[in-house]
Amino acid sequence: MHSLLKRQIRKNLPEELKGNPNLEKLFNAIEKSYDDYDDKIAMIQRATTISAQELKAANIELAQEAQQQKKTLQALEQAVNSLNLNLDNAENIVHSKKNIVSAQKLAQHISKQAEYIAQVTKEKDKLVKDLEEQNKSLNNYAHVVSHDLKSPMRNINTLMSWIVEEEKHKFTVDSLNNCDLISQNLVKMDNLVSGILKHATIGNNEESKSNVDISSLLKEIKSTIYIPKNVTVKVAENLPTLFLDKYRLEQLFMNLLTNAIKATEHLERGIVTVDVTDSDNFWQFSITDNGKGIPEKYLNKIFEMFEKLDNDVESNGIGLALVEKIVTFYGGKIWVDSKENKGTIFYFTIKKD
């Protein structure tokens, strides 16, 4: 206890208490109370210091959490606005430029969009199922029609050939020419039905995969199709070996080569070139000719069914549609670059394994 305080207390005490032996106990008790008070003050100061540090750390954590929530809301904002654009929804519920982000409104809008997407998905699944059923029916129809038509047509053609062979001495020249036209049209109809059936069944028949050396395949094709002496077919040396269905690849290259040869057979020196480029995920093939080219008005529709050039009376309009379907089946795409009287290049890609 401070000495000045003791002196002041003794000075103000009554005379009969100044010599009291218990006075020293009183001073000790007072001094002890001061000690407890100092300890409590120290404890309070320490507690205050700890709380301030914890409060600072909590504030930092809250600030970080608030920043993270802001980023989350901005990401949701972008996602919702993207959905609005893709779903042709003009409503824009948040505006980053104005920094206006309503979490509640955002959540409500996401819920509404989720319901809409669920409905669209349900309708899409129904449409896909309907399309599958329609495709199945069309394929069955193609099989039935091809079977029912091909046999009578071939029978008629055979009968016509017999009649002409046995009775040609009775026919006039015009009659013989007409019989020949009938036979040609029957062959053309037979090819047309076969083409429709091939187009309908691409992708439905099971694949018989094997290693197909494209160089060897092209040699086989060249030996089976008609190539005039004035037309040269050049094949690159770096053609790959593909593990795919040989029949489909044969249909693909045969149709494109046949078209290129037809386009150049009128020239004194027709040239058809087959080449390939190796990219990361695809083989890109090209078939180039220096022939008559394709008029610009046909370029956008040559891959459609039954589309053919005005001057191509022999075509059934299915070959290029079949080619496109095969290329698409193998995960690729096909396009054409052509100029009239200068030549044509067909490009197509086939996805690697």
* pLDDT tens string 119-135: 888 888 888 887 777 76
Q: Looking at residue 144, what is its pLDDT?
A: 66
Q: How many CB atoms lie within 10 A of CB 327?
A: 21
Paired tokens of 113: 């969009």
Count how many Cα atoms sit within 13 Å of the Cα of residue 152 in the half-sphere of its side chain.
4
CA angle, corner 191, sides to 185 and 196, nearest 5? 125
Cβ 101 vs Cβ 72: under 8 Å: no
Q: Where are the domains of the chain?
A: 1-101, 118-175, 207-351
How do residues 222-235 score in pLDDT, each as one tens digit? Answer: 988 889 999 999 99
Q: What is the mean pLDDT of residues 164-170?
A: 82
In this prediction, residue 99 carries a pLDDT of 45
Q: Which residue has the tokens 């002496």?
A: 229
- For residues 228 and 262, give the distance between their C-alpha atoms in angstroms, rounded to a whole number: 9
Please state, as a whole number, how many other Cβ atoms lie within 10 Å of the Cβ of residue 111: 10
CATH of 207-351, one of 3.10.20.30, 3.40.50.720, 3.30.565.10, 2.60.120.10: 3.30.565.10
The set of residues, in sequence order, having a beta carbon less than 8 Å from that of 338 and lying 6+ positions away, is: 293, 294, 299, 344, 345
Q: Which two tokens stand for residue 19?
A: 């010599």
> Which pTM does this prediction carry?
0.52
Q: Pull the structure tokens for residue 343.
A: 């030549």
- Residue 321's pLDDT band (cuts 50, 70, 90): confident
pLDDT confidence of residue 185: 76
Residue 311 confidence (pLDDT) above 60: no
For position 96, what pLDDT does the model report?
A: 46
Sign of CA dihedral 10, 14, 17, 18: positive
Check residues 40 and 170 and name the one with the higher pLDDT: 170
- Could you tell me the two tokens for 321? 């549609």
Note the Cα 339 to chain centre separation in Å: 31
Separation between Cα atoms, residue 8 and residue 35, nearest integer Å: 20
pLDDT greater at residue 52 or residue 153: 153
pLDDT digits (tens, 9 = 90+) for 36-69: 566 666 666 666 665 666 777 777 888 888 788 7
User: 146: burial class by Cβ within 10 Å (0-12, 13-18, 19+)?
Assistant: buried
Residue-wise pLDDT tens digits, 328-350? 988 899 999 999 989 999 999 99
Confidence of residue 260 (pLDDT cuts 50, 70, 90): very high
Stretch 137-141: mean pLDDT, rounded?
67
The most confident of the ranges 41-45, 76-80, 160-164, 290-294 is 290-294
Q: Tens digit of pLDDT for each residue in 263-274?
A: 999 999 999 999
Judge contact between 1 and 25, C-beta under 8 A: no
Distance CA(276)–CA(274), nearest Å, equals: 7
